[in-house]
Amino acid sequence: MCIYHQENEKTKDPAVKDMLTKRKMVQALAAGGALSLAGPALSGCVTNPETGASQLLLIGEGQLSQMAAQSWAQAKKTQKLSTDPRYTKRLANIGGRIAQGSGRADQAWDFAVFDSDTRNAFVLPGNRVGFYRGMMDFAGSDDQIAAIMGHEVGHVAGRHAQERVSQQMAGQIGLAVGGVVGASQFGKRCKSLRGAEQRRCYQSANRNSQLLNAAMGMGLTLGVILPFSRKHESQSDLLGAKYMHRSGYDPYQAVKLWEKMAEASPARQPELLSTHPDPARRARDLHNYISYQEQLGSQGWQNIKSPKRS
């Protein structure tokens, strides 16, 4: 799942704002413990065939898809859908070609265009891809729309929703265990005290425990969740270019798209605090990847490896 709108943009449309909130559904469910662990086949690290990366998957794709179905249905109900064939048929055609290029044409896909000026596109578990009209207008050409579509399909192929939820589930468990252990250690010496002195000791231990929990939460966010989110975006960029090439689109238009994105959002928060890599860097990484794949000739476009940085 990804957000393409400018990060400092204030979304005024309440329906769009509601959708952007609902797109965090899987994270919220994971944090709330509403998910059950998947079977033994998924309860561990597996190698993703599309990215070659090892992933911790604790939840099945089908379970996420079932939960996303409600959010998707509500989005279609509460937001205005475009019926203009210049948008709907165009997106369906591009989506079908990208699905073919990704080797997933045999799967069911649901493409929808929301009639809003918002520059946004997203994918939910279960192959549900939503584009806002403003995003299609911003991209302009079929090739650049295909770049976004390829990116969204890349999230599906990369099993990013599964991995993100699994990371948060594991992280919440780790925070809970760490909090219990920390509280126990902080309050250990208080047991030997009595009266007011003991009460002050426990109060101090409680404050220290809260500070520890906050520090661990911040560490989880900055050290695990945000870096993995940026990694997922980068993987999806490269997978998207690969699918563009296989589908007959010009992958260099993905570079052009991100150059436009960089120009359209000059004011950004530091990448360290963002869920997405810097647009200018994404353009450079895509250019390097595409050039490298072309240099490989007939051996190119088999994976998402890029040349090593010097």
- pLDDT of 188 strictly over 60: yes
> Residue 271: what pLDDT?
41
3-state helix, strand, coil in the chain (%, to 5): 65, 5, 30
**Pair (52, 155) in one structural domain:** yes
**Pair (57, 153) in one structural domain:** yes
Token pair of 212, please?
């520890």
**Pair (67, 77) in one structural domain:** yes
Query: What is the span of the domain harbouring residue 209?
Result: 174-224
167: in domain: no
Beta bridge partners of 186: none
123: in domain: yes
The residues, any chain, with a CB within 8 Å of residue 24's CB and separated by 6 or more, are none
Region 9-24: mean pLDDT is 50
Handedness of CA 161, 128, 104, 82 (dihedral sign): negative
Could you tell me how many residues make up the chain?
310
**Pair (60, 84) in one structural domain:** yes
Give 90's DSSP letter.
H
Q: What is the pTM of this model?
A: 0.73
Report whether 122 contacts 2 (CB < 8 A).
yes
Q: Position 85: which residue type?
A: P
The pLDDT-based confidence of 185 (bands split at 50, 70, 90) is confident
**Pair (187, 232) in one structural domain:** no
**Pair (126, 149) in one structural domain:** yes
Give the closest residue to 259 by CA, choosing from 277, 240, 284, 292.
284
29: in domain: yes
Region 289-303: mean pLDDT is 94
Beta bridge partners of 54: 47
Q: Up-side HSE of residue 84: CA atoms within 13 Å toward CB?
A: 11
Beta bridge partners of 129: 111, 123
> Residue 248: what pLDDT?
97
Query: Which residue did the predictor score with more confidence, 308 or 53?
Result: 53
Beta bridge partners of 128: 110, 124
Write down the mean pLDDT value for the chain. 79
15: in domain: no
210: in domain: yes
Region 207-231: mean pLDDT is 55
Give 223's DSSP letter.
I
128-132/110-114 β-pairing? parallel
**Pair (138, 229) in one structural domain:** yes
**Pair (99, 26) in one structural domain:** yes
- 65-96 exposure pattern, b = at least 16 Cβ within 10 A, e = fewer: bebbeebbeebeeebeebeeeebbebbbebbe
**Pair (122, 219) in one structural domain:** no
Q: Up-side HSE of residue 33: CA atoms within 13 Å toward CB?
A: 3
Euclidean distance between CA atoms 150 and 251, whole angstroms: 10
Tens digits of per-residue pLDDT, 138-182?
999 999 999 999 999 999 999 988 888 877 776 666 656 655 666
197: in domain: yes
**Pair (45, 85) in one structural domain:** yes
Q: By three-state DSSP, how is residue 56 classified?
A: strand
**Pair (229, 218) in one structural domain:** no
Token pair of 42, please?
């998924």
Surface-to-core class of residue 1, CB atoms within 10 Å of its CB (0-12 exposed, 13-18 middle, 19+ buried): buried
Residue 128 phi, psi dihedral angles, 5° rounding = -105, 110
Report whether 169 contacts 34 (CB < 8 A).
no
Region 186-209: mean pLDDT is 81
- pLDDT of 296 strictly over 50: yes
310: in domain: no
> Residue 211: what pLDDT?
64
Handedness of CA 87, 95, 262, 4 (dihedral sign): positive
**Pair (117, 193) in one structural domain:** no
Report whether 97 contacts 248 (CB < 8 A).
yes
53: in domain: yes
Number of domains the chain is built from: 2
> Residue 232: what pLDDT?
87
Euclidean distance between CA atoms 23 and 20, whole angstroms: 5
